[in-house]
């Protein structure tokens, strides 16, 4: 069964499943890592001040924590960090943030998970004599910042084989290159500085990579698998362990989905609701007591985020239902409400995209005259390229924008929203060639009765890491619903029966509303085979991803 699953994902031999670190693409193949290492080493030698400038999401937080920890372990005595406040400073190395950075008198500013579009901010720092190292993975615009060094796998002309490194992956590569350079220079021969084992930071790399939903190509799977192994062995930063334990997850059995759906959202909540500095300080702490306090705070912030999101989602659904009554939905959806929370519009856009299967931009107020938008796309539309085409055809319409194929951010004058809506819809329909496709679930096929066992569920769990671009196996089959009950408000627990009469326990997250009115219905379900711990025992469970009622008798 696993061979079949792997073959569908392009794996033809065991060598492709070898996730040892010695099979990682070497740092020497990522452009400018050598120059970045020399730049940092020069500042280290003169005990200069290195300021890390982070993004306010989980990728930015883990990037910042990794860079800070690695530099300190390599002898840097004057390292600090700064992270913009989403609600005050905006994204990236803006002029405002550059001015704040200058007040700290840095010798070197290192951007992590941002900077590739920060033309004005970088220019200001360079004019004041501050060196700037940009480490980023976002797509570059037509002009590059005049930084001292840029390390980005997606820079124009860059030949690094893996274009899907997260920001934390880029920083890890730079730190490995720095260690190699310092080793050659005899830096660790002085006796006072022990050469660090940077593999100890792979828990941070795994978390940031999974949380940023980048494609898990083979290189990223190596990074994630190595990080997961460290977490399972108890060799991770206390905050990650505290979050998992607080959410009733067992760190010794952690999988990539736990990072994506448990740890990542709680860490992201700090940047969405409060200030990501809370999360970064937590990731830098080696105290289990402090980690437990921070984990509890992050859990509270995440609960607040979910409450805000639920209210916004209900408002957006009512708005879209109104649009549907008036006619077909547009190819590209733009939603806005003056009361929406900036920190949650990205999640809202994702939820709407999942329901309507088309690119979505959710807007919130930035100030009295401007809107801030967060875009999420479908596989067939490169959202940043779409925004670039709109900006090119309508000079001045977008104040700024940037992002990836699947996610992007933008700023827009409030008065231009109606015009932008029309342009966005037209551009998306052009890229979809006039056809908006329905949502798809790609199944690995039906499972035989003898395959639906706990051992196979355990093998699948260990068979990843699964994620974006390397999806966890989905199966489909026909069942009768013997019983059903709501749990946690929006979820449902079910007992299903297949045609031969075997019964299975199942869970359906966020699908309680779509359940049949009473037991006895026949459904066609798409599901994952998972392991559920219950009262100390391990049980096989079907996790229903989607279902369709085929008979309600």
Average of pLDDT values for 300-304? 93
Question: What is the model's pLDDT at position 504?
Answer: 94
Question: What is the model's pLDDT at position 551?
Answer: 81
**Residues 6 or more apart whose Cβ sits within 8 Å of residue 93:** 53, 101, 109, 111, 114, 115, 118, 121, 122, 125, 132
Question: What is the model's pLDDT at position 552?
Answer: 67
**Which carries the bigger pLDDT value, residue 54 or residue 309?**
54
Question: What is the model's pLDDT at position 30?
Answer: 97
- Omega of the bond prior to 17 within 30 degrees of 0, cis? no
Give the closest residue to 320 by CA, choosing from 310, 308, 330.
330
Report whether pLDDT(325) > 60: no
pLDDT category at 93 given cuts 50, 70, 90 is very high
Highest mean pLDDT among 227-231, 248-252, 303-307, 339-343: 227-231
Question: What is the model's pLDDT at position 436?
Answer: 64
Across all residues in the chain, what is the average pLDDT? 91
Domain 328-431 has CATH 3.10.310.30: yes
Right CATH for 28-297 from 3.90.1640.30, 3.30.70.1170, 3.40.50.150, 3.40.50.10490 = 3.90.1640.30
Give the closest residue to 64 by CA, choosing from 274, 207, 191, 178.
207
pLDDT in tens, 266-299: 999 998 888 899 999 999 999 999 999 999 999 9
CB 532 within 8 A of CB 249: no
Least confident of 86-100, 134-148, 238-252: 86-100
Average of pLDDT values for 387-403? 90
Report whether pLDDT(515) > 80: no
Return the CATH fold of 449-551: OB fold (Dihydrolipoamide Acetyltransferase, E2P) (2.40.50)
CB 224 within 8 A of CB 209: yes
CB 283 within 8 A of CB 270: no
CB 103 within 8 A of CB 130: no
Domain ranges for the chain, please list them: 28-297, 328-431, 449-551
According to DSSP, the residues that pair with 485 across neighbouring strands are: 493
Question: What is the model's pLDDT at position 549?
Answer: 87
Question: What is the model's pLDDT at position 331?
Answer: 87
pLDDT in tens, 355-367: 888 899 999 999 8
**Which carries the bigger pLDDT value, residue 495 or residue 318?**
495
Question: What is the model's pLDDT at position 32?
Answer: 97
C-alpha span between 346 and 410 (Å, rounded): 11
Question: What is the model's pLDDT at position 416?
Answer: 95
pLDDT category at 389 given cuts 50, 70, 90 is very high
pLDDT category at 505 given cuts 50, 70, 90 is very high
Question: What is the model's pLDDT at position 326?
Answer: 59
pLDDT category at 324 given cuts 50, 70, 90 is low
Report whether pLDDT(73) > 90: yes
Question: What does the radius of gyration of the chain's CA atoms come to, in whole angstroms?
Answer: 24
Report whether pLDDT(526) > 70: yes
Report whether pLDDT(262) > 90: yes
């Amino acid at each position: 069964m696993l061979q079949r699953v792997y073959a569908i994902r392009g794996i033809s031999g065991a060598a492709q499943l070898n996730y040892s670190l010695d099979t990682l693409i070497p740092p020497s193949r990522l452009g400018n890592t050598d120059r970045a290492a020399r730049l940092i080493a020069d500042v280290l030698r003169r005990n200069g001040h290195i300021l890390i400038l982070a993004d306010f999401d989980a990728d930015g937080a883990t990037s910042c924590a990794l860079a800070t920890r690695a530099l300190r372990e390599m002898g840097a005595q004057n390292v600090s960090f700064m992270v913009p406040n989403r609600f005050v400073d905006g994204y990236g190395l803006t002029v405002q943030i550059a001015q704040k950075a200058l007040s700290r008198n840095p010798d070197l500013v290192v951007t992590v998970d941002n900077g590739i579009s920060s033309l004005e901010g970088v220019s200001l720092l360079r004019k004041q004599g501050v060196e700037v190292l940009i480490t980023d993975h976002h797509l570059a615009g037509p002009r590059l910042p005049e930084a001292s060094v840029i390390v980005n796998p997606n820079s124009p002309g860059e030949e690094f084989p893996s274009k899907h490194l997260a920001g934390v992956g880029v920083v890890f590569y730079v730190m490995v290159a720095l260690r190699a350079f310092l080793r050659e220079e005899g830096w660790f021969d002085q006796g006072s500085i022990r050469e660090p084992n940077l593999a100890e930071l792979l828990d941070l790399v795994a978390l940031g990579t999974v949380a940023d939903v980048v494609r898990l190509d083979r290189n990223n799977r190596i990074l994630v698998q190595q990080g997961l192994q460290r977490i399972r062995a108890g060799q991770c930063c206390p905050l990650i362990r505290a979050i998992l334990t607080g959410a009733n997850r067992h760190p010794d059995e952690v999988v990539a989905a736990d990072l994506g759906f448990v740890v990542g959202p709680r860490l992201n909540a700090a940047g969405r609701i409060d200030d990501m500095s809370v999360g970064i300080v937590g990731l830098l702490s080696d105290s289990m007591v402090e980690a437990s306090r921070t984990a509890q705070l992050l859990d509270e912030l995440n609960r607040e985020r979910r409450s805000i999101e639920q209210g916004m989602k209900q408002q957006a659904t009512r708005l879209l239902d109104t649009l549907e009554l008036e006619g077909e939905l547009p190819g590209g959806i733009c939603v806005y409400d003056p009361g929406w929370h900036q920190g949650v519009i990205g999640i809202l856009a994702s939820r709407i995209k999942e329901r309507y299967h088309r690119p979505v931009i959710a807007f919130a107020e930035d100030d009295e005259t401007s809107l801030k938008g967060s875009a999420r796309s479908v596989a067939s539309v490169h959202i940043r390229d779409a925004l670039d085409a709109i900006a090119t055809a309508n000079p001045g319409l977008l104040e700024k924008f940037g992002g990836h194929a699947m996610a992007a951010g933008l700023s827009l004058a409030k008065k231009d929203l109606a015009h932008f809506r029309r342009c966005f819809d037209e551009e998306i329909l052009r890229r979809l060639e006039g056809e908006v496709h329905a949502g798809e679930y790609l199944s690995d096929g039906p499972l035989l009765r003898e395959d639906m066992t706990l051992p196979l569920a355990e093998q699948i769990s260990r068979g990843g890491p699964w994620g974006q671009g390397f999806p966890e196996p989905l199966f489909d089959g026909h069942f009768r619903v013997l019983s059903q009950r709501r749990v946690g408000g929006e979820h449902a627990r079910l007992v299903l029966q297949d045609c031969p009469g075997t019964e299975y326990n199942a869970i359906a997250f966020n699908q309680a509303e779509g359940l049949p009115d009473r037991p006895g219905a026949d459904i066609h379900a798409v599901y994952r085979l998972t392991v559920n711990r219950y009262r100390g025992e391990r049980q096989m469970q079907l996790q229903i991803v989607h279902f369709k009622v085929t008979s309600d008798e």
